[in-house]
Amino acid sequence: MWREYSSGYLKHNRAAAGSVMTAAFISSLLLSLLSSLFYNMWKYEVERLRAEGDQYALMAMYLARDANDEAPRLVFPLFLLIMGLASFSLIVIIHNAFAVSMQARIHQFGILASIGATPKQIRRCLLQEAAFLCAAPVLAGTLLGIAGCKGILALLETLMREVEGRRPVVFGYHPLILVLSLFATGITVGLSVWLPARKLSVMTPLEAVKNTGELQLKRKKHSPVLLFLFGVEGELAGNALKAQRKALRTAAVSLLFSMTAFTLMQCFFTLSEISTRETYFEKYQDAWDIMVTVKDTEIGDFGETERLREIPGVENVIVYQKAMAKSCITEEEMSEEMKANGGFSHDSGKYVTQGEAGFWVNAPVMILDDAAFLEYCERIDAPQRTDGAVIRNRICDVTNPDFRHPQYMPYIRGGSPAGLSAQTDREAAVEISALAYTDQVPVLREEYATLDKYELVHFVPVSLWKEVEKQIGGAEKDTLVRILCREGVSLEELDRIQAEIEKNLAGTYTTESENRIREYETNDQKIQGMMVVLGSFCVLLALIGVGDVFSNTLGFVQQRKREFARYLSVGMTPRELRKMFCIEAFALAGRPMLWAAAVAFLAVGAMLKASYVDAAEFLAEAPFFSIGVFMLAVGGTVAFAYYVSWRKMRKLNLAEVLRDDTMM
């Protein structure tokens, strides 16, 4: 008897069955996709560690422990956390889908209970229906999730193909992941079905028979905005949405989060791209074409400078090494502009230390090869000698927080010898001749005084450094080579020159190199890759919300027939009912759009203020198109769900709908 009842109900209520199948399909799709993505992340990390020969870290991966063996690795706990959150969210969605279907049948089950059906029989009937409806969607969703993971990884591989030093992303899958996905989906669907089935089965026959299955508000509430915009139909649509508030809560939250996250992501990456381009690529595009890092080599031991200058296409080469020292500045040596600006009084003691001799500041030392140093001296009209230093005599106004548009002033008075000392022994200062005090610096891809505004940068030739190195020390272990090529050089030319440089240095030195154009393209590819990953999660959130909308709009068709029949009986036309449906769709999709726009406006305003990027500059590149496409896609899908629901509602038979005690 129960089999005939279930088959009859499903045959005459395909919309409700479809909403349940859709919810189960989305659940299995998302869980399968998440499982596949995390497995491939783990697999990629294992392959990377194997290639690097890091057996200890590899063992730590298998044991789910950090390499220091003190804390669990984040990958597996993060996977469990996200899977748990996803399962909880999906339980809410599928629970709503089943609850909608079962709510419409309370009256029927009340009649069945009154003639002898037990709660256990009713619960078993509902669970059997769920198993029948969900089996195929769960399998299809699981397979599609695997395919989706493979597609995402293929897209990432395409975007990141040119990134140097990166292992290729190869899709992999393990039977245990399939078992895990199906198990998680089964638990999710099972709990989603059991909760409303249990609640329904324990209702008394009298409560069930009295229930009409229609959603109603206990107290009518006004919707002034919808009333003002759309009239009476807007007021009715507002009340209908309030009556469905609990059922549509998941949809509202998912749509809000997806739209807000996508909008913020697009704005953040656009602003980041503008900032990176201005402060790095455009700022230093004339300062370097190829950078080579010579590992574990001091500048005095590097003997390939002239060979590099002879490579066809190379126009300028500077070989340099960095060191860190201390310098003492007295009150008399400070410039008048700096004194007027408060001197060192604005420092909290983090960068400047006052001693008996004066104020001790950090003094980065840039050690240039002799030829490059002499060329630098010629450019700034300083004596072309290698027995002294050139001092960067410029400091920004530390009271001005706008780091993008700093205001500079002279740092110290000229004419006094430069004093450098080791970081650990400040009193043993080495006095060297100051050839010039200037605000011009060598053409290098370097930034000075970014965090520590009081740095006093010294540029010295390598021949002088060899004399004072033992007293000062503090040199970094690597040597850097900055190479400039002709103006307008192409990527192909840079690749050729870079390969020639690596060939000349191979075998003698361990090097790492990069070129400007390739680095710019790689940066774009990394941003696109991150946007693909984050955008995929935004789409998944939107799918959760849209799936819940479909579940509710299609599932509530049977319950809302009485509502719309009542409206028709008092004189409303089908056209007015259609308008009411359109208003509901507009409000459901429009509210998260407005919230997302408001949050994005405030967040972008804060980011612009923090980064000191001009608003007009951001608006010229703002991602209006991509955000608009996403919003329209989500809003259009919500509208389509209501359109499908309306097609099922528009042909109403008043006499049939208003009858009670129907079994189908």
Longest CA span, the chain: 110
What amino acid is encoded at 114 in this protein? S
Q: How far is CA 117 from CA 127, 197, 444, 663, in A?
A: 15, 14, 85, 15
pLDDT at 50 over 90: no
Q: Which of 31-35, 74-78, 140-144, 168-172 has the lowest mean pLDDT?
A: 74-78
Q: Same domain, yes or no, for 121 and 33?
A: yes
Average pLDDT over residues 30-58: 72
Q: Same domain, yes or no, for 608 and 503?
A: no
Q: Which of 74-78, 459-463, 468-472 has the lowest mean pLDDT?
A: 74-78
Q: What pLDDT digit, counting tens, does each position of 396-411 carry?
A: 988 888 877 888 999 9
Q: What percent of the chain has pLDDT over 70?
A: 76
Q: For residues 239 and 415, which has the higher predicted lDDT (pLDDT)? A: 239
* Host H or E run for residue 150: helix 119-159
Strands 418-420 and 290-294: unpaired
Q: What pLDDT digit, counting tens, does each position of 603-613 carry?
A: 999 988 888 88
- This model's pTM is above 0.85: no
Q: Same domain, yes or no, for 567 and 663?
A: yes
Please indicate, yes or no, if residue 638 is contained in any of the structural domains: yes
Q: Same domain, yes or no, for 243 and 204?
A: no
Please indicate, yes or no, if residue 106 is contained in any of the structural domains: yes
Phi and psi based region of residue 465 (left: phi greater than 0; alpha: psi -120 to 50; beta: remaining): alpha
Chosen domain end from 213, 237, 264? 213
Contact indicator for 87, 31 with CB cutoff of 8 Å: yes
Q: What is the residue-wise DSSP string for 392-435?
A: E--EE-TT---SSS--EE--B-SSSPEEEB-SS-TTS-EEEEEE
Q: What percent of the chain has pLDDT over 90?
A: 24
Averaging pLDDT over each range in 107-116, 222-231, 346-355, 388-397, which range is the top one?
Answer: 388-397
Confidence of residue 386 (pLDDT cuts 50, 70, 90): very high
Q: Same domain, yes or no, for 204 and 314?
A: no
Please indicate, yes or no, if residue 282 is contained in any of the structural domains: yes
pLDDT at 415 over 80: no
Q: Same domain, yes or no, for 459 and 406?
A: yes
Average pLDDT over residues 356-372: 91
Q: For residues 22 and 289, which has the higher predicted lDDT (pLDDT)? A: 289
Q: Which residues of 94-115 are buried (b: 16+ CB within 10 A; e: fewer)?
A: bbbbbbbbbbbbbbbbbebbee
pLDDT at 219 over 70: no
Average pLDDT over residues 331-360: 87
Please indicate, yes or no, if residue 291 is contained in any of the structural domains: no
Q: What is the rounded distance in angstroms from the CA atom of residue 289 to the CA atom of residue 306?
A: 18
Confidence of residue 291 (pLDDT cuts 50, 70, 90): very high
Contact indicator for 113, 208 with CB cutoff of 8 Å: yes
pLDDT at 65 over 50: no
How many structural domains are present in the chain?
3
Q: How far is CA 78 from CA 42, 74, 419, 450, 487, in A?
A: 12, 6, 53, 35, 48
Contact indicator for 583, 233 with CB cutoff of 8 Å: yes
Average pLDDT over residues 447-464: 92
**pLDDT for residue 662:** 44
DSSP assignment letter at 169: P
Average pLDDT over residues 42-49: 75
Q: Same domain, yes or no, for 522 and 479?
A: no
Average pLDDT, the chain: 79
Chosen domain end from 185, 213, 241? 213
Quick one: which of 295, 272, 277, 285 has its CA closest to 515? 285
pLDDT at 296 over 90: yes
**pLDDT for residue 64:** 46
DSSP assignment letter at 442: -
Q: For residue 462, what are its two tokens?
A: 């390598």
**pLDDT for residue 441:** 93
Chosen domain end from 168, 192, 213? 213
- Domain range for 412: 296-509
Q: Same domain, yes or no, for 369 and 256?
A: no
DSSP assignment letter at 160: T
Specify the residue for token string 């450094």: 465
**pLDDT for residue 37:** 83
Please indicate, yes or no, if residue 218 is contained in any of the structural domains: no
Q: How far is CA 388 from CA 334, 377, 421, 459, 587, in A?
A: 21, 11, 15, 9, 73
What amino acid is encoded at 258 in this protein? S
Specify the residue for token string 């669990």: 72
Please indicate, yes or no, if residue 374 is contained in any of the structural domains: yes
Please indicate, yes or no, if residue 545 is contained in any of the structural domains: yes
Please indicate, yes or no, if residue 140 is contained in any of the structural domains: yes
Q: Same domain, yes or no, for 368 and 478?
A: yes
Q: Which residues of 158-168 are buried (b: 16+ CB within 10 A; e: fewer)?
A: ebbeeeeeeee
Q: What is the residue-wise DSSP string for 257-300?
A: HHHHHHHHHHHHHHHHHHHHIIIIITTSTTT-SEEEEETT--GG
Tell the burial category of 373 from Cβ atoms under 10 Å away from its Cβ (0-12, 13-18, 19+).
buried
Quick one: which of 37, 562, 549, 576 has its CA closest to 254? 549
Q: What pLDDT digit, counting tens, does each position of 67-123 carry?
A: 444 333 447 565 566 666 666 666 666 666 666 666 656 666 666 666 777 777 777
Contacts of 320 (CB under 8 A, 6+ apart): 299, 366, 367, 368, 369, 372, 442, 444, 479, 480, 482
Q: Same domain, yes or no, for 46 and 186?
A: yes
Q: What is the rounded distance in angstroms from the CA atom of residue 361 to the CA atom of residue 369?
A: 25
Q: Same domain, yes or no, for 104 and 170?
A: yes
Q: What pLDDT digit, counting tens, does each position of 164-194 carry?
A: 566 777 888 888 888 888 887 788 777 777 7
Q: What is the rounded distance in angstroms from the CA atom of residue 373 to the CA atom of residue 377?
A: 6
**pLDDT for residue 98:** 65
Q: Same domain, yes or no, for 209 and 276?
A: no
**pLDDT for residue 496:** 93
